[in-house]
Structure 1
Amino acid sequence: MPTATRIVPLVLGRKTFTSSSSLLVMSSFFACATLFLTVAAGAWMFFQTPAAPGSDMEGMDLMYKFLAGFATILLVIPASTLASASATLSARRQDERLSTMSLLGARRTAVVTLAVAEPLVPAICGIVLGVLGYLVMAWPVSLIHFMGRSIGYENMLMPAWLVAAVVVFLILVCIVAALVGLRKVAISPLGVRTKSLERKFPLGQVILAVVAIVLLPVAVSLTQSGGLGLGILIAAIMVMFILGLIVVDLVGGLLIRWFAHLSGNRAQTPERLIAARLVSDDPKRFWRRVSGLAMTAFVAAVGGSGISLMQLGLDAADEPGAQMQDADRFLLQDIFTGVMLVMGISILLIAVSALINQVADIYDRADTFQDLYAAGTDPETMHKAMVRAVLGPVIWVALLAGGLGLLLVLPLAGAALVLKPITFSTILASVVLGILIIRSGLQLAKPILVTVATAGRSRE
């Protein structure tokens, strides 16, 4: 460790902040920190500003707290995935610097320390800027109405200790992700230089997926058990949806691997073959590219049911002789507002993830694209291969996530709400919009692909 402490300050310089990979990491963590803090501030607002005593909203506090916590869970996991993916990709791209240190006789501790410090420095800068972004974004969010009144800017300001806790959490995500990305690289002079990866069957992922799938019905049955306290029931519902997100994440990665295997066996054109080989080379990388859409499809299944509930309640209120208290009407309107906010932030995460991951992947695979270009493959074919590799499994992933979301909502909301057309329309609209955003990100990154493929070996 003393050796690492001496080496790291020498190799971290201006390029640590200005290189393409550093800018990607900084941008990713800026977006994550801004959205993270904004979502956390929204949940904090519901826990700190109860309804006025004697008002119609008194007694609804627990429902609002539950919905706020639920929305936070749905958004925190995709945001964490984006931050983790960015840090992992950055750690994996330090091949030349790491290999040079290894060839010069640096110890493993020095190599590991540098690999972690490389993405950590721009990540911290991005997080600090994200705190400023949160303070700016809190103003338009504070104008949104909940419980019959606007949120208010002062209610969106979290205490310093909570902001610090979010900052520390994101820094830990960066460190862990960098270590995980480095763990897969053979730390030796030749191994780092060639970026040789360990090729293993994902047995651990399969076991975790099976365990999560087995536990999921148990959590669902708990939500249907009678005699449970309200606190236990809410905890069971939270656990059920967290398990659902974990199942989507684990099974989705395995589905991408299976898709690549089938595509490789059936490839009849160069772009199909290249796409299959790119995905099979690192399925997790391409899962990260579409995981945001999968999470959004899952959220849309839950949100669509919420919109159906709102529509059903308002229709009942409009019937002759029906009376609805202001508190109930506010709750239905706020459910709609909350669903729109969650969906909007999910779409933002897809947009940021699509562009950042696409550009990062191009730089990370610079050697591959340059070798393909030297072998006679034109950049247009490479671009088509990348588009197919990313968009090919999207339909399967969306069906998996959206279908699982509907299955989990079904016992809670009932078939009358889940099977309403508005629920499926919400899912379809979210998936189509997500696909268009991902496709736009691929198109925006095309000039970078052409530049990287036609250039000599890129050196930062």
Structure 2
Amino acid sequence: MSTFALWRLFHRPGLRGSAGHTSMLAIIAFAAATTIFLTVLGGVHGFIWRASADHTVACAFDFGACRPDTVAAWKRQISDPTSLAQFSTAYVALAVFACMLLVVPFVALAGSAARLAASRRDARLAALRLAGATTGQVVRLTALDAAGQALIGALIGIAGYCALMPAVMLIPFQEQRFTFEQLWVGPLALVITLAGVAILALISSLVTLRRVAITPLGVTSRTATALPSGTRMVLFVVVVVVAMIVFKNPAMLAQAGQAVMYGVIIGFMLLCFALVNLIGTWVITARAKAKAKRPKDAATMIAMRRILDNPKRAWRNVSGIALAVFIAGITSICGFFGSAAVVGGANDPFTVFIRDIGTGGILTLVFAAVLAAVSSGVMQAGSVYDQAGEYRMLVLEGTDVKTLNRARFIEVLTPLNIVVIVAGGCSMLLMAPLFAASMTEPATLASFFGGLVLCYALVSIGAFASNHVAASLNLTDYRADD
């Protein structure tokens, strides 16, 4: 049988199948991730466009690549103390930093989208393997399925980027609004984004496929996954401690140059940011083990057992929120900058620059929150479809629906509380040595806790959405093992 025929069989609709729902959720996740990524990339391009003498990317980094008739005028402009052009390089650096912060939740959301229907896909692929399909056919089928979802989602995301562009044009930076020419990333960037999303989806899906190709019986029997080790937590603590020591003594880096100092600081922030994603499963597992020993009710027991059954799935439900909380801690100082810059309507270049930092920090947090909201909602809804068989068995065994709904909420809320403490605490610890007393200013704290409230609200919306999805399932029509 050809791979295409297998693909048609693989996607054949059935009364018990939910592959169509999970595929749609994956496409939504890819679309949202692509829209946000291209929008942020467009903002970076806009700042580079403004920081370039002839409005080309190459000229912004090398005067030798500029048109000769534009360099002299631009040098006079950036040396003028009354012009905002003097901060053009700083605008680009901050925009790139914000983009790098958002790359992690973007990759996390895209990776989660690729793995969204993993267990459902694995079960079907394992059945095909047991029925005689070759490993090569299974690999090609998975690649076709994952790449198709990613490309459709990315194309929708490009349309979303174009639709969102007029709204971005309304936001003033450097006392002027962006134009279409500044925000348009160009066809090459769009093609690279399409290819990148597809490659990311392929890598994520093929990694999960190894278990199916090697042991299809292990998938069909739902063998437990290995729990994470504590080594990653030790690594995280060591990196955070080293970062705090470095941040408390910036003078030792200043000797190597200002660029090196900023590079090391930003590098440590990004490293800790990435490590939050690494330790998430371990922290969640440790907390679930502690609560599972003395559950206070049936809902808590069910929730903790689900978390321990698949800690990675539990982490993916809140990973976007955790990363958004980290960004809230990093950008909380921007709230202080923004409020401090509003002094008697002053419009000198430095005041405008500080005010724009506040605006940029808020935008970064909003974009991170949107990614987190989509990630949380999509992953929770996907978990409902993925665990539909377990829900049916529990209902048929006498568990009431209210208990299941509460267990599902606890399953999300417990990891969320832990990762908020870890991610928020880590980001505030990193910022404290750099900004000292400013971290306790009302504007800073209001920005940080406002971000936390937003994150909890987004998770609650996702939980209610997943309950709505669960309510649409027929939990009593058949047994999972019929």
TM-score when normalising by structure 2: 0.86
Aligned equivalents of 1:124, 1:223: Cα separation in 2 = 45
CA distance in 2, matches of 1:329, 1:394: 37
Residue 206 of structure 1 and its aligned partner are, at CA, apart by: 5.0
1:220-259 equivalences under 5 Å are: 220=247, 223-224=250-251, 225-259=253-287
> How far off is 1:85 after superposition?
1.0
Q: Which amino acid aligns with 2:209?
A: L
Deviation at 1:364, TM superposition (A): 1.0
340-349 or 175-184: bigger deviation = 175-184
Equivalent residue letter for 1:440: I
SS of match in other structure, 2:46: helix
Q: For 1:247 and 1:356, how far apart are their aligned partners in 2? A: 23
Partner of 1:37: 38
8 Å Cα contact 1:84/1:177 also seen in 2? yes
Deviation at 1:111, TM superposition (A): 2.1
Query: Which segment is superposed worse, 160-169 or 369-378?
Result: 160-169
Kept after mapping to 1: 8 A contact 2:244/2:430: no
In 1, Cα distance between equivalents of 2:439 and 2:210: 43
| Paired position in structure 1 for 2:374 | 352
Residue 135 of structure 1: CA displacement?
A: 1.0
Q: 1:268 aligns with which of 290, 296, 302?
A: 296
Alignment of structure 1 residues 199-348 onto 2, 5 Å: 199-202=226-229, 205-206=232-233, 209=236, 212-213=239-240, 216=243, 220=247, 223-224=250-251, 225-315=253-343, 326-348=348-370
User: Does 2:420 correspond to 1:392?
Assistant: no
2:150 is aligned to 123
Q: Name the aligned partner's letter for residue 442 of structure 2.
A: P
- Structure 1, 280-289 or 5-14: larger mean CA deviation: 5-14
**Residue 375 in 1 paired to residue 376 in 2?**
no
2-structure distance, mates of 1:111, 1:354: 29
**Counterpart in 2 of 1:133?**
160
Deviation at 1:219, TM superposition (A): 6.1
CA distance in 1, matches of 2:168, 2:479: 46
2:100 aligned with 1:79, yes or no? no
Partner amino acid, structure 1, of 2:421: L
Flag the 1:207–1:331 CA change in 2: closer, same or farther, 3 A: same
Inter-CA distance 299–101: structure 2 relative to 1 (3 Å threshold): same
Query: For the structure 1 residues 13 and 101, does the alpha-carbon distance in structure 2 shift closer, same or farther, using more than 3 Å as the test?
Result: closer
Give 1:211 shift.
6.6
What amino acid is the match of 2:460? R
CA-atom RMSD, angstroms? 2.7
Equivalent in the alignment of 1:442: 463
Cα shift at 1:217 = 5.0
Q: CA deviation at 1:98?
A: 1.1
SS of the residue 1:393 aligns to: helix
Structure 1 residue 90 corresponds to structure 2 residue 117: yes
Measure, in 1, the Cα distance between the counterparts of 2:164 and 2:18: 25
Q: CA deviation at 1:187?
A: 4.1
Which of 448, 451, 454 is matched with 1:430 structurally?
451
Give the TM-score normalised by the residue count of structure 1. Answer: 0.89
C-alpha distance in 2, partners of 1:135/1:106? 42
| Matched letter for residue 84 of structure 2 | M
* 8 A contact 2:11–2:19 mirrored in 1: no
1:46 paired residue number: 47
Deviation at 1:221, TM superposition (A): 6.9
1:138-169: CA deviation from partner (whole Å, max 9, x where unpaired):
11101211101001122110122222222222
Structure 2 match to 1:421: 442
Quote the Cα distance in structure 2 between the aligned partners of 1:179 and 1:426: 40
Residues 191-217 of structure 1: CA deviation (Å, up to 9, x unaligned): 232333443543674576467557645
C-alpha displacement of 1:299: 1.1
Tell me how far apart the structure 1 counterparts of residues 327 and 9 of structure 2 sit (CA, whole Å).
43
Segment of structure 1 superposing worse, 224-233 or 431-440: 224-233
Q: 1:160 to 1:107 in 2, by over 3 A?
A: same
1:440 and 1:210 mapped to 2: Cα distance?
A: 32
Alpha-carbon separation, structure 2, partners of 1:109 and 1:423: 55
The structure-2 alpha-carbon separation of the partners of 1:14 and 1:128, relative to structure 1 and needing over 3 Å to count, comes to farther
Rounded to whole Å, the distance in 1 between the matches of 2:297 and 2:121 is 33
Structure 1's 75 and 223: CA in aligned 2 closer, same or farther, altered over 3 A? farther
The 1:76/1:189 distance shift into structure 2, 3 A limit, reads closer
Q: Which sits farther off after the overlay, 140-149 or 5-14? A: 5-14
Q: Report the CA distance between 1:238 and its aligned residue.
A: 2.2
How many pairs are equivalent? Answer: 450
Query: How high is the sequence identity, in percent, across the aligned residues?
Result: 28
| 2:71 match | none
Q: Kindly report which structure 2 residues correspond to 1:65-214, keeping only aligned pairs within 5 A, or say none.
A: 65-184=92-211, 187-202=214-229, 205-206=232-233, 209=236, 212-213=239-240
Give how far 1:362 is off. Answer: 0.7
Contact 1:127 1:167 in 2 (8 A): yes
Q: 1:182 to 1:189 in 2, by over 3 A?
A: closer
Contact 1:4/1:111 (8 A) holds in 2: no
1:60 aligns with 87
- Does residue 406 (structure 1) correspond to residue 434 (structure 2)? The answer is no
- The one-letter amino acid of 2:124's match is R
User: Are the aligned partners of 2:395 and 2:476 in contact in 1 as well (CA < 8 Å)?
Assistant: yes
The residue that corresponds to 1:321 in the other structure is none
